[in-house]
Amino acid sequence: MRDDNTVDIQAFLDEHRFSPFQWLVFGLCFAIVLTDGFDTAAIGFIAPALVKEWGIARPALAPVLSAALFGLAAGALTSGPIADRAGRKAVLVASVFLYGAGCLASAFSSTLAELTVLRFVTGLGLGAAMPNAATLMSEYCPARLRATLTNAMFCGFPLGAACGGFLAAWLIPQFGWRSVLLVGGVVPVLLGLAMLATLPESVRYLVAQRRDPGRVRAVLARISAEVGGASAFTLSEVRATGGGRTGAGLVLSPGYVVGSVMLWIAYFMGLVIFYALINWMPILFKDAGVETRSATLIAALFPLGGCGAILFGWLMDRFNGNRIIAVGYFATAAFVYVIGQTAGNVGGLVVIVFLAGTFMNTAQSSLPALAAAFYPTQGRATGVSWMLGFGRFGGIAGSFLVAWLTARNFPFADIFTVVALPGVIAGAALLVKEWVHPEDAATHARPGEAAPLH
């Protein structure tokens, strides 16, 4: 860890227990992702009530359902470079306030066009929050627990989306659809205030930006007093740096470009499935004869299954992450197909939707940790944010895909057959990435080597 008075940041994190201070970082990042998931999915759960109150045709909902996704893409693609200049904390706090304010304002919209614009603004904040929460969390993790902890943090997204469904089922009959957006706006604003007071800046960022060593030492002292009187701090790098390239240059360099494109394809296809189903399942189930409240509750089970990402993270810290996530996508495709064959069986839908959501969200939530491990420090922020940003267009495609299929009167079973195909493509893309960039078994932790969590 130390040579005289010099401390290597990652070695320091690896050699010490996971402290209460790091749990604070985890908790705040988890809350960010939780509210992100709630606000992202809220529009899909209020869609049936919106159609009824405003008297609009279902295909007309496509722009509203997709507006936030365009904002998500823009926010993710631009937030990485901004965070590299202004810091992780500044971008995270600003993004949480932005999507909270956007969702709150959406509750008072009176026209479809107004709601569309406000959902885009909300999406800008949502898109900026996710990659920077992942970056900040990973930069406070011991190396051999990074996938486990990052995946555990990302469980907040499907849980937040599921909460949106359960709350919508309770709130809308009593208070109307606007109440869901009110909740989705007030909670992030309160979270933003808490972050201003307690969220630390990334210690790796402070060292990379050559900030005051005293500030770095004060942060590390909250992890362990063993930092003592260290006066200098370094960042070791074990991955190839792509010939000295940084940011976009590294991500698109010959040594990384194939893996980058495969990650984009996998994330894109995963979001085709997620948004196609989370936005349209309540309506599709209702049209298939399921009672409205039951349709909403069953659809809410789809994002709930994402907690399996903790298991995938544990496996990824020990085995080949590409193959593990690929299996998750192939299983997703199988179960989504089966949903289309189970229209008349409410009990069967409950089980199959939950299983489809478990594999879908587990695989999708594991990709940021896979990307963070794939890129070296010089390109990690850009690599993760670009995967999330380009992938967001899959969410846009998924929303329009089902709108297009329903406008052409595709049967219930055929819609789910089409939506299942992206799962096969995502799994295949990760196998291509593994073939071109095979993982080194030495990079995986052995269980006895990980620092204990206390």
pLDDT tens, residue by residue, 219-239: 888 888 777 777 777 776 555
Q: For residue 190, what pLDDT is reported?
A: 94
pLDDT at 46 over 70: yes
- Report the pLDDT value the prediction gives residue 243, as an integer from 0 to 100: 57
Confidence of residue 111 (pLDDT cuts 50, 70, 90): confident
Query: What tokens appear for 7 in the block?
Result: 């401390």
pLDDT, residue 155, reads 80
- pLDDT, tens digit, 9 for 90 and up, residues 256-291: 889 999 999 999 999 899 888 877 777 777 766 666
The whole-number pLDDT of residue 71 equals 87
pLDDT, residue 242, reads 56
Give 182 or 241, the one with higher predicted confidence: 182
**Residue 107 one-letter amino acid:** A
Residue 451 has pLDDT above 50, yes or no: no
Give the model confidence (pLDDT) of 401-439 as tens digits: 888 888 887 887 788 889 899 999 999 999 999 998 887
Average pLDDT over the chain, rounded to an integer: 81
C-alpha to C-alpha distance for 225 and 346, rounded to whole angstroms: 57
Residue 288's pLDDT is what?
A: 67
Range 299-311 average pLDDT: 71
Q: Which two tokens stand for residue 106?
A: 């959406």
Of the ranges 157-166, 265-274, 355-364, the best mean pLDDT one: 265-274
Average pLDDT over residues 335-351: 80
Over residues 167-185, the pLDDT tens digits come to 887 888 888 778 888 888 8
- Answer yes or no: CATH 2.40.50.140 is held by domain 2-236+246-441: no
What does the domain layout of the chain look like in residue ranges? Answer: 2-236+246-441
| pLDDT tens readout for residues 189-224 | 999 999 998 988 888 888 877 777 778 788 888 888
pLDDT over threshold 60, residue 447: no
Task: Give pTM, 2 decimals.
Answer: 0.76
Mean pLDDT of 321-340: 91
Give percent above pLDDT 90 in the chain. Answer: 16
Quick one: which of 359, 335, 275 has its CA closest to 41?
A: 275
Q: What is the spatial distance between Cα 193 and Cα 93, in angstroms, rounded to a whole number? A: 8
